[in-house]
Amino acid sequence: MSSATLELTKENFDQTVTDNEFVLIDFWASWCGPCKQFAPVYEKAAEANPDLVFAKVDTEAQPELAAAFNIQSIPTLMIVRDQVAVFAQPGALPEAALTDVIGQARNLDMDEVRRQVAEEQAKQQEKEQ
């Protein structure tokens, strides 16, 4: 891992996501071939976007975090903006796709995203009653 990426653990996860408005998270494992292919692409994106937090979760060392996010396959990329997961997708993204996803996440209207999340939560609460 380079100095451009942060290792996330169950101890520092909440604070990292709370203290930073834009966090990209790569869920990976050392035995995973596609994870190894994606690592240099992720590192390059981290160096190109120093204003964002690029983090990695080793699913072998942090099984609780992988379970909490229902990670079924790796690598999985997740983007959290303002403490809301706005993107989650398994698979190693090519460089151009990763750059595009970062751009889309940067351009999100977070007020609109929060409104939609609140609507979904309200619908879910109605179903449960």
Q: SS3 helix, strand, coil % of the chain, rounded to 5?
A: 45, 20, 30
Bridge pairing between strands 76-81 and 84-90: antiparallel
Instruction: Supply the residues annotated as catalytic.
Output: 32, 35
Place of tokens 């203290």: 19
Report the C-alpha gap between 38 and 126 in whole angstroms.
Answer: 41
